[in-house]
């Protein structure tokens, strides 16, 4: 008989982690840590970088041996995960994915001539729905960004990042009983991330996913496994619920620690005062014993400051970038054409669109890394642009320290001043003097962001800035970008970041760039094939508390007030300029046209900014009335 894989809910046990202890190079990552993950649960695995999340996955897969404790897995369970990219072979993408179902491949390869065996094989193929396998595999590949033509190409035709997607498609298709995913969105775009969220939410077996993507942790999972201080804690609910519960626990712990500290100080003062007096010696001794018996409550450590301090640029008159009837490509056919775009210094623009449609091409055009093949692009003559892309993290000099990187850029600055700059990006003294090769991915990203913003750019272009950043660092990046006074053009798979930072959406598709007039929620529904289901999507979106909405709304008011102040100042200066009689002399006709055009642009921007400000004020008033 052919063994059938275990079915969910038919005697299938839980994943139990019992009193495990493990160390690397003498550093304890787990110490008598325990947790139980119920069958079929979707669990987000979170904790500070470097604390052992990936190591635990390796322990579960049996790749590492525990010092103590045990991992109890469901009997005959298939454990699946993505350890490395798909190999660069001549096998097509679709065949690579189909081969991941080992049972199906084995059954199809069975050449037995025995009638009973043939019947048995055919029955089993029907049981595992083998004949729909190609359609399922194709659907998964399509969700991860491969069209039908790409699916038939050999793996060797694709880069490492794309082959990571093939490996992910393969493990999703194989449908293991316990699916372990380690930062799967790091090599996906926004469209792939949204598809994966939806896929995981429907996945019929157990999922544990290491992720710093807050939206994924709110939409795709129903529980959080938290690793901190060598211990594991299991929380029911999505990430937002976990954050609230943990904050409440930390507040209680902090209060208890503060109360105990006061008690200990009081007891110690009594001991110190009366230990030498014979009449009080007995009482003093009893208090010494009370101090010794008292189990010390450790106050929760404050989260290490995850900060980004972007230098603020001076104001430039709008627009800072104007693209008129332009086209751009790489020497062959144009990738993008008929571009009519404008960027002002107060713009926060998110670029939407599938990989390969031209988002990176557009960022290269705007940042002057590509030239137009038709039309024109004009920029303010004083414009400074900061550019961050993931490949730049990989291009850092591995043998140099962050301090040496900065010294190359700012040879006239003292080491103390350079260290202060690094501290403003969360790189402390230890990281400043460590060669880049030994830094974590997040620390490298911080260094690259520091180098990109060193000149106080008026326009900051960020292409996937959150890869390797933990959740706290992503929140710090949001805070930095909302207070930054330059323009931002953002490409990211992090919906949480986009929703908090971007106020304009551009869709890059079919060789064109057009404004996307709806919101990110509508775009998400559109990608999932439910463009008319906006209200349903809104219901399923994790709800923020009134307080969280109020904080965000007040921040929006402050940001709009800053815009109005700057625009009013510019307006006043332009009025003064236009009031100068010399400007109206015949030989200044060209200058007059320029200044009148600038004045009109600022007036238009003022009208828009006032509308946004009034809308934000109304939102705050409504939320305050509910508080």
pLDDT tens digits for 185-242? 988 999 999 999 999 999 999 999 999 999 999 999 999 999 998 999 999 999 998 9
Helix (H) or strand (E) run with residue 451 in it = helix 441-453
Q: Do 329 and 346 have their domain in common?
A: yes
541 inside domain = no
Higher-confidence position of 501 and 573: 501
Instruction: Please report which confidence band the pLDDT of residue 578 belongs to, taking 50, 70 and 90 as the band edges.
Output: confident
Q: Do 257 and 288 have their domain in common?
A: yes
pLDDT tens digits for 150-169? 999 999 999 888 999 999 99
Using alpha carbons, select from 326, 345, 361, 373 the residue that is nearest to residue 491.
361
Instruction: Please report which confidence band the pLDDT of residue 179 belongs to, taking 50, 70 and 90 as the band edges.
Output: very high
Q: What is the CATH number of the domain that holds 347?
A: 3.40.50.300
312 inside domain = no
pLDDT tens digits for 603-614? 777 887 777 887
316 inside domain = no
> How far does Cα 495 stand from its chain's mean position?
8
Q: How many domains does the chain have?
A: 5
Instruction: From 175, 198, 225, give the residue that closes a domain.
Output: 175
542 inside domain = no
Looking up tokens 């189990």 gives 295
Q: Do 189 and 46 have their domain in common?
A: yes
Q: Do 485 and 506 have their domain in common?
A: yes
Angle at which helices 402-409 and 415-423 pack, to 10 degrees? Answer: 120
Asked whether residue 22 carries a pLDDT value surpassing 70, the answer given is yes
Task: Residue 347: count other Cβ atoms within 10 Å of its Cβ.
Answer: 20
Q: Do 96 and 150 have their domain in common?
A: yes
Q: Do 201 and 278 have their domain in common?
A: no
Q: Is 70 helix (H, G, I), strand (E, B) or coil?
A: strand
Q: Do 91 and 212 have their domain in common?
A: no
Q: Do 417 and 528 have their domain in common?
A: yes
524 inside domain = yes
Q: Do 16 and 41 have their domain in common?
A: yes
* Containing structural domain, residue 31: 1-78+176-237
432 inside domain = yes
For residues 318 and 348, give the distance between their C-alpha atoms in angstroms, rounded to a whole number. 14
390 inside domain = yes
282 inside domain = yes
Helix (H) or strand (E) run with residue 261 in it = helix 239-274
Q: Do 151 and 194 have their domain in common?
A: no
The lowest-confidence range among 270-279, 330-339, 399-408, 486-495 is 270-279
For residues 48 and 236, give the distance between their C-alpha atoms in angstroms, rounded to a whole number. 20
The mean pLDDT value for 460-489 works out to 91
Q: Do 146 and 186 have their domain in common?
A: no
Give pLDDT, residue 294: 64
Q: Do 182 and 170 have their domain in common?
A: no
User: Is-contact 42 207, C-beta < 8 A?
Assistant: yes
Asked whether residue 547 carries a pLDDT value surpassing 80, the answer given is no
For residues 134 and 295, give the distance between their C-alpha atoms in angstroms, rounded to a whole number. 61
For residues 439 and 432, give the distance between their C-alpha atoms in angstroms, rounded to a whole number. 10
Instruction: From 142, 159, 175, give the residue that closes a domain.
Output: 175
pTM: 0.73
């Amino acid at each position: 008989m052919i063994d059938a894989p275990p079915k969910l809910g038919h005697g299938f046990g839980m994943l139990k982690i019992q009193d495990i202890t493990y160390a690397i190079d003498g550093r304890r990552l787990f110490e008598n840590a325990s947790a139980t993950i119920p069958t079929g649960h979707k669990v987000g695995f979170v904790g500070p970088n470097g604390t052992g999340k990936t190591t635990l996955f390796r322990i579960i897969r049996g790749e590492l041996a525990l010092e103590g404790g045990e991992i109890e897995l469901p009997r005959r369970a298939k454990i699946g995960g993505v350890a490395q990219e798909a190999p660069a072979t001549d096998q097509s993408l679709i065949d690579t994915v189909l081969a991941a179902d080992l049972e199906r491949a084995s059954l199809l390869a069975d050449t037995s001539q025995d009638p009973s065996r043939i019947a048995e094989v055919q029955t089993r193929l029907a049981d595992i729905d083998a004949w729909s396998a190609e359609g399922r595999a194709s659907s998964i590949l399509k969700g991860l960004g491969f069209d039908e033509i790409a699916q038939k190409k050999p793996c060797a035709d694709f880069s490492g990042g794309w082959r990571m997607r093939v490996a992910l498609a393969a493990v999703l298709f194989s449908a293991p009983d316990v699916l372990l995913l380690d930062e799967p969105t790091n090599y996906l775009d926004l469209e792939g991330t949204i598809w994966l969220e939806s896929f995981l939410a429907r996945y019929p077996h157990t999922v544990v996913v290491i992720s710093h993507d807050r939206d994924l942790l709110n939409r795709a999972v129903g529980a959080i496994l938290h690793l901190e201080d060598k211990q594991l804690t299991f929380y029911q609910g999505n990430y937002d619920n976990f954050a609230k519960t943990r904050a409440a626990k930390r507040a209680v712990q902090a209060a208890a620690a503060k109360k105990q500290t006061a008690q200990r100080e009081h007891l110690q003062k009594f001991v110190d005062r009366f230990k030498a007096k014979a009449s009080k010696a007995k009482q003093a001794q009893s208090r010494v014993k009370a101090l010794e018996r008292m189990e010390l409550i450790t106050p929760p450590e404050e989260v290490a400051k995850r900060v980004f301090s972007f230098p603020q640029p001076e104001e430039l008159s709008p627009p800072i970038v104007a693209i008129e009837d332009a086209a751009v490509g790489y020497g062959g056919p144009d990738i993008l054409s008929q571009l009519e775009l404008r960027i002002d210094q107060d713009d926060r623009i998110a670029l939407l669109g599938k990989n390969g449609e031209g988002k990176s091409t557009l960022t290269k055009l705007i940042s002057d890394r590509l030239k137009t093949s038709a039309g024109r692009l004009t920029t303010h003559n004083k414009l400074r642009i900061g550019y961050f892309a993931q490949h730049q993290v990989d291009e850092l000099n591995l043998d140099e320290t962050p301090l040496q990187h900065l010294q190359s850029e700012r040879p006239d600055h003292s080491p103390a001043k350079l260290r202060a700059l690094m501290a403003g990006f969360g790189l402390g003294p230890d990281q400043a003097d460590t060669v880049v090769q030994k830094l974590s991915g997040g620390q490298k990203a911080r260094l690259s962001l520091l180098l990109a913003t060193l000149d106080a750019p008026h326009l900051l272009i960020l292409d996937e800035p959150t890869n390797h950043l933990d959740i706290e660092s992503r929140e710090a990046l949001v805070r930095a970008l909302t207070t930054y006074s330059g323009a931002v053009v953002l490409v990211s798979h992090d919906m949480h970041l986009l929703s908090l930072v971007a106020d304009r959406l551009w869709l890059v598709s079919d060789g064109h760039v057009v404004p996307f007039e709806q919101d990110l929620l509508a775009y998400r529904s559109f990608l999932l094939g439910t463009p008319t289901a906006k209200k349903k999507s809104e219901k399923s979106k994790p709800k923020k508390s009134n307080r969280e909405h109020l904080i965000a709304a007040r921040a929006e008011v402050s940001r709009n007030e800053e815009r109005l102040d700057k625009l009013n100042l510019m307006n006043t200066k332009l009025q003064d300029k236009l009031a100068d009689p010399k400007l109206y002399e015949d030989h200044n006709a060209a200058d007059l046209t320029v200044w009148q055009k600038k004045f009109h642009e600022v007036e238009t921007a003022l009208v828009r900014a006032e509308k946004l400000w009034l809308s934000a004020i109304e939102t705050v008033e409504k939320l305050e009335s509910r508080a």
